[in-house]
Amino acid sequence: MALIHQRERFSVLVKTPAAKPVRKPPAKASSKAPVLPEEGSNHPRPRNPERYEASQEELLHFYKEMLLIRRFEERAGQLYGLGLIGGFCHLYIGQEAVAVGLQSALEPGKDSVITGYRDHGHMLAYGIDPKIIMAELTGRGAGISRGKGGSMHMFSTEHKFYGGHGIVGAQVPLGAGLAFGHKYSEDGGVCMAYFGDGAANQGQVYESFNMAALWKLPIIFVIENNGYAMGTKVSRSSAETEFYRRGDSFRIPGMQVNGMDVLEVRGAAEAALEYVRAGNGPLLMELKTYRYRGHSMSDPAKYRSREEVQNVKEKSDPIEAAKAELLKMGVSEDAMKAIDKEIRTIVSEAADFAETSPEPDPSELYTDVLVEQY
Amino acid sequence: MAIELKMPALSPTMEEGTLAKWLVKEGDSVASGDILAEIETDKATMEFEAVDEGTISKILIPEGTDNVKVGAVIALIAGEGEDASADQAAPAPAPAPAPEPEAAKPPTENVQIVPETPKRAQVSDPAIPEGTEMVPTTVREALRDAMAEEMRRDERVFVMGEEVAEYQGAYKVTQGLLEEFGARRVIDTPITEYGFAGIGAGAAMGGLRPVIEFMTFNFAMQAIDHIINSAAKTNYMSGGQMRCPVVFRGPNGAASRVGAQHSQNFGPWYASVPGLIVIAPYDSADAKGLLKAAIRTEDPVVFLENELVYGRTFDVPKLDDHVLPIGKARIMREGSDVTIVSYSIGVGVALEAAEKLAAEGVDAEVIDLRTLRPLDTETVLQSLKKTNRMVVVEEGWPVCSIASEICAVAMEQGFDDLDAPVLRVTNEDVPLPYAANLEKLALVDSARVIAAVKKVTYKG
């Protein structure tokens, strides 16, 4: 079963919407012919992105970050099965190259990031301590939200990571608000707002597209298209399945990127950031990716075959691909094993911390409802 | 030592399941990620993956077993270098390495949780120095002055909404702001409430001080997700890390002859949400002083105005910085026979009733709540102690209203002070009709307040 549209298998495309709209004169001139507005001036478009040429050191860094996300998420899945993590828990396994490739191009402390509920990977890719993330998943006082947020509601304003939002699509206008702030404050920052192919059908996404384009807000809308909105395949939920075209009506240029190759993602991010930082307004990136696990832990995954998942794992795994490239660059098997061990240790320590640190003090129930006293 | 394989929890609510099928048998070696079994929950059949590497030494629960409790040991795995056969004879007196599932362990059982007594800031309205000039000002102008003063004071404050800039405000509340502050800080939006409410909340999370105007709060229903889920809950969900100091403001309640969809009081809706501040002032001085406080506070605020009050003129003290405390009710008229509690436009109705009652020899005290959340129950209860009778006037529906809440507070905390049941005088429990006569019948008026007061004072 083909994962990706055959025509554009994991290709990097840059499309400017309506670059050359076809405007034929009416077949028969009539005084009642509708008056069409003048064509917009040549809307700027981003340059064609190129696959990033990473040094061995850089690629090793990306590899480690992706591996950390994968091992972290595997462990989170295990802790869920043991009952240590409750509620909803959405794993990022398979999509690692997206967060790592994109966020490696951002300037921490200057650019902001916001995402939905599948947020562990984006936080790890921003260098946030795995211990306090895992402790949040287990609902402990040492968690990044003091145990009050859980898997879907985590934030690090220090890193300009603004969540972690549980309502599908809500992060998109919130991200536009962050971008509004960058522009208002003239701080040079860009907001990267992630959402999925499912959220891409929410109305508020298009309200945000409109205002972001109207006001030329510095924002990159990132659609992580993993093929399924919960259990509904893209082709069953979306009239336009080429998500990079979803900005057409707002003159937002779109870019389709192979989200399973961290270097292609990084290269595309650079072209996108160049465009947005130049004051051209928003840009839409569609990252074609795949989630290996269910939508959440309680997903029976009956909407796709085991073969389909297996096929992607075998042929398109972003971590295996990076590993192969590193070996080709001359990194030794032993060095790779050492990295594997190092990451396992970090994750084990995070899990131990998350299991052993205490639950929030009961008095925490009443704190942080309001900031001020009245 | 063998590793115990426990029945996993596969959904937030799962307590037991059916072990439908084993996909491994004793003696098989497994690696992390291998599918071991299929488990049926009440919702679906799920695959159960191996966590550890090793050899399946013993299957304890055969396939087809129903009602296997979460956490029950279903198989044993011998780790690397262990003798898998050893488990055949002696099934595991193994120490339970994993804690009990959360479901079986209410975390704070037997812990007495004592809510902190809400720390009330002991503040009252700042004294107005003697000789201060009082300037007759419409509520509309007072609101505009509040925004303008705060914008002069703090560069982070901006105003956004439909028709707030070039049109000068659909109800002219933002008149003149564009001229003084320019298009960077006074921003016309498309008609897209959900979107710009989210942009406002996001800008506040990023450190700005947005004032988001809804043309009326009826349209804010399109955006209520961001008011509740994004603005109100953020500080709590982030453990106090991320704030959302946004003000959502605009006219609320019935206007005049605009029908059901444009006439509703959302005060009770927002006042039910922890994490929000809800303010609904009546006169010009309060509108100005409380809007300034709303813009300054670190918490998200819903600021409910009233279209029918915009044009009314009241005195505003001419002060450099007239800021009032949030969460503090105001005694509008002192009296000793009965307490009439209200807010927003209802205060005008209550005052009118009080004047008429005075002529009949009934001395009513009128309290303007001003802030609906947090509610100043102290002022209400003190007044009840004095008058022993209470009527609540609310331009809004009766069910689950602010009036209902005041009744509950009076009963729970002021029961011994009550000489009569607290009565609610509210709009009729119907969508607001268009026809002039029906609309009049549906809305609160002083006659109904007077009737209620007579009832609680046993004069009716």
Q: What proportion of chain B, given as a percentage, has pLDDT over 90?
A: 77
Name the least confident of A289-298, A348-357, B427-436. A289-298
Q: Determine whether B16 is an active site residue.
A: no
Q: Over the stretch A2-20, which tens digit does the pLDDT of each residue have?
A: 333 333 434 445 554 444 4
| Pairwise CB contact (< 8 Å): A146 & B239 | yes
Closest among B378, B369, B338, B343 to B354, alpha carbons compared:
B338
| Pairwise CB contact (< 8 Å): B194 & A207 | yes
Q: Over the stretch A60-101, which tens digit does the pLDDT of each residue have?
A: 999 999 999 999 999 999 999 889 999 999 999 999 999 999
| pLDDT over threshold 80, residue A24 | no
Q: Chain B contacts of A359, Cβ < 8 Å?
A: 107-108
| Pairwise CB contact (< 8 Å): A181 & B203 | yes
- Integer Cα distance of B290 and B280 in angstroms: 9
Q: Please report the residues numbered 388 through 427 in chain B whose beta carbons come closer than 8 angstroms to any beta carbon of chain A.
A: none
- Integer Cα distance of A316 and A332 in angstroms: 22
Mean pLDDT of A293-310: 86
CA atoms in the 13 A half-sphere facing the CB of B452: 27
| Closest chain B residue to the Cα of A160, Cα to Cα | B206
| Pairwise CB contact (< 8 Å): B198 & A147 | no
| Pairwise CB contact (< 8 Å): B241 & A157 | yes
Question: Using CB atoms, which residue from A86, A175, A177 is nearest to B200?
Answer: A177
* Smallest Cα distance from B172 to chain A, Å: 23
pLDDT by position in tens, chain B (length 460):
677 888 888 777 788 889 988 999 999 988 777 788 888 877 677 778 777 778 999 999 999 999 998 888 899 888 765 555 544 444 333 333 444 444 444 444 555 565 555 556 667 899 999 999 999 999 999 999 999 999 999 999 999 999 999 999 999 999 999 999 999 999 999 999 999 999 999 999 999 999 999 999 999 999 999 999 999 999 999 999 999 999 999 999 999 999 999 999 999 999 999 999 999 999 999 999 999 999 999 999 999 999 999 999 999 999 999 999 999 999 999 999 999 999 999 999 999 999 999 999 999 999 999 999 999 999 999 999 999 999 999 999 999 999 999 999 999 999 999 999 999 999 999 999 999 999 999 999 999 999 999 999 998 6
Closest among B367, B376, B371 to B339, alpha carbons compared:
B367
DSSP labels, A82-109: TTSS-S-----TT-HHHHHHHHTTS-TT
Closest among B396, B402, B172 to B278, alpha carbons compared:
B402
* pLDDT for position B7: 86
Q: What proportion of chain A, given as a percentage, has pLDDT over 90?
A: 84
Residue A318 backbone dihedrals phi, psi, to 5 degrees: -65, -30
Q: Determine whether B193 is an active site residue.
A: yes
* pLDDT for position B118: 55
| Pairwise CB contact (< 8 Å): B71 & A83 | yes
- The active-site residue, picked from B4, B141, B149, B193, is B193
Question: Using CB atoms, which residue from A83, A145, A166 is nearest to B239?
Answer: A145
Is B192 an 8 Å CB contact of chain A? Answer: yes
Q: Chain A contacts of B41, Cβ < 8 Å?
A: 298
Q: Over the stretch A103-161, which tens digit does the pLDDT of each residue have?
A: 999 998 899 999 999 999 999 999 999 999 999 999 999 999 999 999 999 999 999 99
- Integer Cα distance of A90 and B12 in angstroms: 12
CA atoms in the 13 A half-sphere facing the CB of A362: 11
* pLDDT for position A202: 97
Q: Please report the residues numbered 154 through 183 in chain A whose beta carbons come closer than 8 angstroms to any beta carbon of chain B.
A: 154-157, 162-163, 165-167, 170, 172-178, 180-182
- Integer Cα distance of B158 and B151 in angstroms: 7
| Pairwise CB contact (< 8 Å): B199 & A363 | no
- Integer Cα distance of B454 and B436 in angstroms: 28
| Pairwise CB contact (< 8 Å): B198 & A170 | yes
* Smallest Cα distance from A203 to chain B, Å: 9
Query: Which pTM does this prediction carry?
Result: 0.87
Is B46 an 8 Å CB contact of chain A? Answer: yes
* pLDDT for position B70: 86
Residue B276 backbone dihedrals phi, psi, to 5 degrees: -105, 150
Is A188 an 8 Å CB contact of chain B? Answer: no
Name the least confident of A282-291, A314-323, B21-30, B146-155. B21-30
Q: Please report the residues numbered 201 through 220 in chain B whose beta carbons come closer than 8 angstroms to any beta carbon of chain A.
A: 201-208, 210
